[in-house]
Amino acid sequence: MGSSALLLLKLALLAAYYTPTAVPAAVPPANCAKKCGSVDIPYPFGTMKGCFKDPDFQINCTRSSNGHSIPYLAKKSYDVHDIEVLKISEDTSEISVSMPVSILSYHPKNRDSEGYAMFDIFQMPSKFGISNKKNRFFVLGCDTYAFLYDQEGKRLNGCNVLCFDDRSSSGTSNNETCDSDFQLTVANYSIRIIGYGINPSVTKKRYSYAFVAQIGSFNNSDPKDRKKIRETNTSKVVLDWAVDSTNSCGGACKSNNSGCVPSESVSGQYFCNCTQGFRGNPYSYRVDGCKDVDECHDDSNLNKCLHPNSCRNTDGDYKCSCPSGQKGNGRDQTVVGGSGCSPIITIPLVVTIALLGVFTLVFILCWAHKRRTLKQLRQRNFEQNGGNLLLQQLSQEQRYTDKTRIFTEVELKNATNNFDETRILGRGGQGTVYKGTLSDNTLVAVKKSRVGGDPQHIKSFINEVFVLSQINHRHVVKLLGCCLETEVPLLVYEFVDNGSLLDHLDPSENECSITWDTRLRIATETAGAISYLHSSASIPIIHRDIKSANILLDHNNTTKVSDFGASRLVHLDEAQVATVIQGTIGYLDPEYLQTGLLNEKSDVYSFGIVLVELLTGNKAFQFNTLANYFVSSMKEDRLWEILDKRVLDQKKNAMILNEVASLAKRCIRVSGEERPTMKEVAMELEGLMAKGKHLHEKDKDMMEKESEYLLGYCPNNDGYGSTSASFSVTSGHDSIQKHVAFDIIDGGR
């Protein structure tokens, strides 16, 4: 039988053997596998029942011996057992597979009537075809003809490889190749290889190869590629695929913005693709379907805008714009429909420029008017807040002009981040205090006063600022300056970084309570500062709001008396001043509360309450009758019961505690005349501090002597010495208790 007849017979048998059967498509469920190994499996392909459109698109996901998952086409081709899937592209309807190559062995048993020859038939599933644009036909061997036939037996192309060199007996030098383009696209194909001029004794170990391979996947001049073909016996091939053989798209193209296109590779069938400007899976109606391509951002190479920043994405397309003063569609003139941009020299341009000039002029005038108005407002506020009066007084006292600084509103806004809420240190009856940082990195406290706009208080306010600017006492918070440009005045003080005395007395705010020695020192420093205000300032000052919250402490627990917003100046010829009652409940002088007459003894009463807080640890604002409670406890000889146990040291502090308690009792007497002056209070506290230091040093010497004695003491055998020592300590404790009780009774009288 001739070769042509043999080919036609095999093709007829093949057509009778393989008849494709279409299976209606089903909507794939959401839980279909999306991958097999490293290969994406998009619909209409699938690995499970119900996940593929029809059996042609079924993928077998097989686990290999090394544990990796490998996808294969489930529907086998004729004489080809397994076709491995390498990649599936749904937007171009292409699939890359690994196909077997045709191999001709030159062994004598393969001789036929025409010499050495072999014949392979490759039948693709009905929806697949070999892409003629992406593949080439290759022959690798020596003295070999190889031909490619379509499914009708028509020869498409072929290669003839000749070897002119003298072969060795091993016959293993298969280095000659040739390749040929496809003339047509075929769904199925067959390959025939014929060897000629063969010497069986020389060539019986040689092989020739003929195969279809993707362009770029095989380089016939590269020894590594030739070796790979011989070792794997497979080549990478690109197949086109289609979805149906009907004349209409039917329901296969599920995604919006998709359509059907006749297949060039599979005759009479079509495939789906996304319309221009969209990308994704046209067979899916879910989120992986055809989605708009953002040509302006996702892939800037897709847009042809002359000015990249002028690109604006639209649904399925994009638009370009021209810069102001130019016309056109903004696209490169080298692309279809692109007109570029050209200048506009017309009357509208002149009008636009004129309008722009008018707008700019109006903007500048409005800006200048706003600045002028703001400057006038600041000047008016400065005058209403007594700025001129303050400058006049400061100029008269030249030696103080360097102590008081007039800040601008802009400076203090920058320092406090425009009076940000997070900068608030505290709020009081006289205003709100903010933490600020000046341009030279100096930390300050900026007080936004609530006094403003009342002409009757302006002169008094200026006098207070003037007098406070002259105070130079180490235990009074220093006034650095003020700002009068705002609606309400702003005062700038030095920043004290360790909170208030109230914070340190409250165990919920500060776990580590301050010791009694520190408390006594704070009381002494506070009394000295108030005494200075009453007696040593050029014009006596009544603070009027002495309380533990207004006694600030720095990092060394040094006292700083603060908050002079309620303070009043009292000239030397005034014994007392009638004022509106101001202060804090719990610290207010009861006599001042009844009469409204303010004098120095009002500060003495408030300071006495602070002393009681230092002694007892109780807070006046939580104990409305703290003064009465304290006095009655002393009368009932219960002082030791109400003292703050956190600082109580009976051995060292009993006598001084009793004397401080007696002083506090005198400070909070109802009648102001019976209270001591702040100067007397300060002197008495200074004496107690000195006495406390003396007792501390004496106790220290005594403890050292006792330590020396005990180190040399050796108890006798019956242990009496040890018991006697213990008894003497206990007796000492009892004597201290009795001494304390006696002193309290005496103090109560």
**Backbone φ, ψ for residue 103 (5° rounding):** -125, 130
> Which residue has tokens 């890359």?
96
Helix/strand/coil (H/E/C) assignment for every residue in 443-483: EEEEEEECCCCCHHHHHHHHHHHHHHHHCCCCCECCEEEEE
Please give the Cα distance from 529 to 556 (Å, whole number).
17
- Residue 376 C-beta-side C-alpha neighbours within 13 Å: 6
Using DSSP's 3-state secondary structure scheme, residue 159 falls into: strand
What are the distances in angstroms from CA 722 to CA 478, 713, 718, 727, 728? 59, 10, 9, 9, 10
DSSP assignment string, 660-688: HHHHHHHHT-SSGGGSPPHHHHHHHHHHH
Please give the Cα distance from 104 to 674 (Å, whole number).
130
CB 530 within 8 A of CB 678: yes
Please give the Cα distance from 94 to 214 (Å, whole number).
12
Examine the residue annotation and report whether 545 is marked as an active-site residue of this protein: yes
CA dihedral sign of residues 323, 325, 327, 333: negative
Q: Apex CA 375: angle with CA 372 and CA 376, to 5°?
A: 85
Positions of E strands within 168-276 = 177-181, 189-195, 207-214, 234-241, 258-262, 270-274
Positions of E strands within 585-670 = 597-598
Positions of E strands within 106-154 = 111-112, 115-122, 128-130, 135-140, 144-150
CA neighbor of 503 nearest in space, from 514, 494, 495, 493: 514
Terminal alpha carbon distance of the chain:
146
Catalytic residue among 143, 150, 545, 644: 545
CB 613 within 8 A of CB 619: yes
What are the distances in angstroms from CA 621 to CA 324, 538, 564, 613, 629? 69, 33, 20, 10, 14
Using DSSP's 3-state secondary structure scheme, residue 254 falls into: coil
Q: Which residues of 561-591 are buried (b: 16+ CB within 10 A; e: fewer)?
A: bbbbbbbbbbeeeeebeeeeebbbebbbbeb
Please give the Cα distance from 118 to 10 (Å, whole number).
13
Q: Mind telling me the catalytic residues?
A: 545
